[in-house]
Amino acid sequence: MLSARSLFQEILDSDDSFQLFCSIAASGETQGGWENARIAALVPASMSVLTPKITRHGADEDKHGRIFNALLKKRNLEPVPVPPETDYTMLLERQGIGLAHDKLRRDEPLTEDDIVVYLSHSRVTEQRAADQMDMLVKNFGDHPEVGRAIRLICNDEDNHLAYCHEELLRLAREGHGRTIHRVLRESALAEIRIYRDVSLAVMEHMGRLLHWPKAKSTALAAGIHAMYAYERFGGWHRMVSLKQPERRNALGGPATSAAEFA
């Protein structure tokens, strides 16, 4: 029977697939760390209250990248190049979602609208990250090799999602509501399409590494397409709603350490 648990167990049990999985995850987290660090450095003076929280967000993402690389190191594995078709962050940027990297490379302050776009985009992508980590914790939170790492990352992703909700609600009260609504919708509709494409590409690579029969690969692809259809029909709405989170000021302190994984 195909299930998230059985699929991930297969990936864990093979060095080749585990190597690719951790490499993809580490690359995406490290890229997110760079993006947040650059945004924190370019926050406009009128929004400087956000600088320490964006800095904390970036530090968490960097930490997650180190954790995935440490999991590789424990198996005496090296990171492998990430296939472009599996690079979720790069594909989002190519679709114009979030802040363009060429803008982040300049030493010019961002605008208030830029920060609103960044937070709106983050609210969508952090929902995806939180959902994925919740699934992994549910199935592998007690796993002796990866359980501790995924529990730590899951807690961070929940903090990131809470921070996006809280700050976007504050900015909506300050008059940015129309922009927030527009960017959330645009980001969610683009994200679900890119997530589908990346999922198909990752499963194709995993299928080759794990020698899956064609019937299994076909069934998995059908499942991915069905999930996209559900999200396109209406499931994307969960990614754009805003509510006051239970975790308040979730990024108000320093990033936690990941020394035990380094």
For residue 58, is it within any domain? Answer: yes
Does some domain include residue 250? no
pLDDT at 173: 97
CATH number at residue 34: 1.20.1260.10
Domain count, the chain: 1
Q: pLDDT tens, position by position, for the chain (262 residues)?
A: 578 889 999 999 999 999 999 999 999 999 999 999 999 999 999 999 999 999 999 999 999 999 999 999 999 999 999 999 999 999 998 988 889 999 999 999 999 999 999 999 999 999 999 999 999 999 999 999 999 999 999 999 999 999 999 999 999 999 999 999 999 999 999 999 999 999 999 999 999 999 999 999 999 999 999 999 999 999 999 999 999 999 999 998 666 666 555 4
- Count of H helices and E strands in the chain? 9, 0
Cβ count near 45 (within 10 Å) = 7
Number of neighbouring beta carbons within 10 Å of residue 262: 11
Which structural domain, as residue segments, surrounds residue 189? 4-241
Residue 153 domain flag: yes
In a domain, 73, yes or no: yes
Determine the pLDDT at residue 252. Answer: 84
Contact residues for 23 (Cβ-Cβ < 8 A; gap 6+): 68, 72, 79, 80, 81, 82
| 252 falls within a domain | no
Contact between 39 and 54 under an 8 Å Cβ cutoff? The reply is: yes
Instruction: Give the per-residue pLDDT at 3.
Output: 84
* Cβ-Cβ contacts under 8 Å for 259 (sequence gap 6 or more): none
| 259 belongs to a structural domain | no
* Residue 94 belongs to a domain: yes
Q: Does residue 253 fall inside a structural domain?
A: no
